[in-house]
Amino acid sequence: MERKNIGFISFRISGTDGVSLETKKWAEIFDRFGFKSFYMAGELDTDPDVSFTVEESHFRHPEALRLYKQSFNGGNKRPRQLSKDIHAFRDLLKDRIYEFIEKFDLDMLVPQNTLTIPLNISLAMALTEVIAETNIPVIAHHHDFFWERKRFLRNCVWDYLGANSPPHLNSISHVVINSSARHQLGLRTGISSTLIPNVMHFEKEVPAIDDFNADVRKVFGIDEDELFVLQPTRVVQRKGIEHAIELVARLKRKAVLVISHASGDEGYEYEQRVKEFAELLKIRALFVSESIADERGFKENGDKIYSLQDVYPHADLVTYPSLQEGFGNAFLEAVYFRKPILVNNYSIYAYDIKPKGFEAIEMDDFISQSTVDATNELLDNPEKIKAITDLNYELSLKHYSFTVLENKLRNIVEDIWGRDPKPCE
């Protein structure tokens, strides 16, 4: 099959957020098919030769942010000027999308959450119109729908959301990451979709501790006899980090909670709340986001920058008390590194993940004494930890591996182009 050029479009394809990570995993699969991937976003860390930076497509761009705030300020009536401004910004972005397609001679677009979550309404409108005007094949990868977030439900742009988040067009193949999203998308819009969960490269051997990351505990100031509890998420409210703090406090062990990522996208008020709560319960919480990046390296002053993969091997326990998730990358990461995990019984875990046979320390929206007892019991039983983590790894290899992703994407591509996408000879 001749090579196809694939164009990924998102607000940001950079760093360790879930959308960026999954985008790069999809690109790796398309590479196996002999395709070539290109990227358009407001922020990119991809190869410049295949990158098309459009600052206006970022949700943090001043105009995108202004339009967002006016659209979701709780009012029901839309000022006429706001409509004009949204459409003007749409026209600008539409021209840039056409430039992206023409510059790299694209055969397919793969919007990553841009037709799903209305952080940049004009970008969704622009994409919808380009797709309608060109009939270009599209695989729309939906991570979070607007109806799943309370902050999007009071707005003055329902007409735009209904038409563009997501649009119902013949050339679009829709992909969701969990069963609930597939059901809700069908019920609300009549759009059918394919379920492709987030994945990890379970076929690859787990990275070992090496000369670079052997000093993680020392650099973070964690004693060898101290329980290393890792919270591998951003500091945002839906991650429920206060529950991890409470668990650490109630374990009555010498322990530290290491929080890997920063706040950023959703403000810093919750981060302050987390710090105050940790002080209140008298536990040590380390915020190490300045020392963690997508890839290991060094700061200008010579200090090390670790990847999250450098940190995981040192953890004794992973906490994942999220109240809401589109899927749950941190769960898969903990399984990949064979770590015991505390998980809140959030809806997607309960409906999609747990029934496959995974075992974890569970909580139901609060830390109970039974949760504390189960955690302590497991931490004192290395043989049980090995049995559980080995089981979880084997289940993930079956359900959440790159092989699963490759097979599912192959089916969609075959439906679009009618031929088996084998690598070019």
Whether 50 shows a pLDDT value over 50: the answer reads yes
DSSP one-letter string for 34-98 = T-EEEEEESSB-S-GGGEEE-GGGSTTSHHHHHHHHHHTSS-SS--HHHHHHHHHHHHHHHHHHH
Q: What is the mean pLDDT of residues 103-120?
A: 97
Q: How much is the pLDDT for 424?
A: 44
Q: How much is the pLDDT for 294?
A: 81
Delimit the domains of the chain by residue range. 5-199+402-417, 216-399
* Superfamily for domain range 216-399: Glycogen Phosphorylase B; (3.40.50.2000)
144-175 pLDDT per residue, tens: 899 988 889 999 999 999 999 999 999 999 99
Domains 5-199+402-417 and 216-399 alike in fold:
yes
Q: Is 259 helix (H, G, I), strand (E, B) or coil?
A: strand
Q: What is the mean pLDDT of residues 66-75?
A: 93
Whether 140 shows a pLDDT value over 90: the answer reads yes
**What letter represents residue 64's amino acid?**
A
- For the chain, the average pLDDT equals 94
Kindly indicate whether the domain formed by 5-199+402-417 is annotated with CATH number 3.40.50.2000.
yes
In angstroms, the CA 287 to CA 280 distance is 16
Q: Which of 59-68, 77-86, 265-274, 303-312 has the lowest mean pLDDT?
A: 265-274
pLDDT band at 1 (very low <50, low <70, confident <90, very high): low
Whether 339 shows a pLDDT value over 50: the answer reads yes
The reply to whether the predicted model has a pTM over 0.75 is: yes
Q: Do 6 and 107 form a contact (C-beta atoms < 8 A)? A: yes
Whether 425 shows a pLDDT value over 50: the answer reads no
352-383 pLDDT per residue, tens: 999 999 999 999 999 999 999 999 999 999 99
Q: How much is the pLDDT for 422?
A: 55
Q: How much is the pLDDT for 394?
A: 97
Q: How much is the pLDDT for 267?
A: 67
